[in-house]
Amino acid sequence: MVKWPGGTGASGNDGIARYVNYVKGSIGYVELSYAIEHKMAVAQLRNRSGAFVAPSPESFEAAAANATWAAADFYQLLTDAPGEQSWPITATTFALVPRQAKDPARTAEALRFFKYSLEQGKQDARRLNYVPLPEPLTQRIQAYWDSGAK
């Protein structure tokens, strides 16, 4: 076990980046879009395949493309995903929508937004340095919704 020296914590991408840039020899973790936008130095990490990869849209896409997304609910942690080009600490974001909504109109609006994002939002995601879902997964999600799981 590594004994890390004590230090100061920070919250949010801005706070972490400020400390990392201020304290010589420090390390921190910010989201990829923030690191790209602020031209931050990044580290290469060894992934499950033994390859050293840098965080990039391509290495995040590789992690998502190589994952075995769960059939029932699409739940998948991408940490240590297989694949030689996969970034080993890729994270996923999930949206949970209740089947029995308290406000069906609001839920329907949220689902329209998610559907639009899946169908039309890929270029916007890339422009903002985020990674859209792999096309085969997008198709599975749309088929799931079309089957009545709305």
Q: Which residues contact 80 (CB under 8 A, 6 or more apart)?
A: 47, 48, 88, 89
DSSP letter for each residue of 20-83: HHHSTT------HHHHHHTT-----EE-TTS-EE---HHHHHHHHHHS---TTT-----BT-SS
Residue 55 has a pLDDT of: 95
Residue 72 has a pLDDT of: 76
pTM of the predicted structure, to 2 decimals: 0.81
Residue 1 has a pLDDT of: 64
* Tens-digit pLDDT string for the chain (150 aa): 667 666 677 788 888 888 888 888 888 889 999 999 888 899 999 999 999 999 999 999 999 999 888 877 888 888 999 999 999 999 888 888 888 889 999 989 998 999 999 889 999 999 988 889 889 889 988 888 888 764
Do residues 97 and 107 touch, judged by C-beta distance below 8 A? yes
Q: Read off the tokens for 3.
A: 């004994």
> Please, how many CA atoms are within 13 Å of residue 10, restricted to the half-sphere of its CB?
17
Q: Which residues contact 73 (CB under 8 A, 6 or more apart)?
A: none
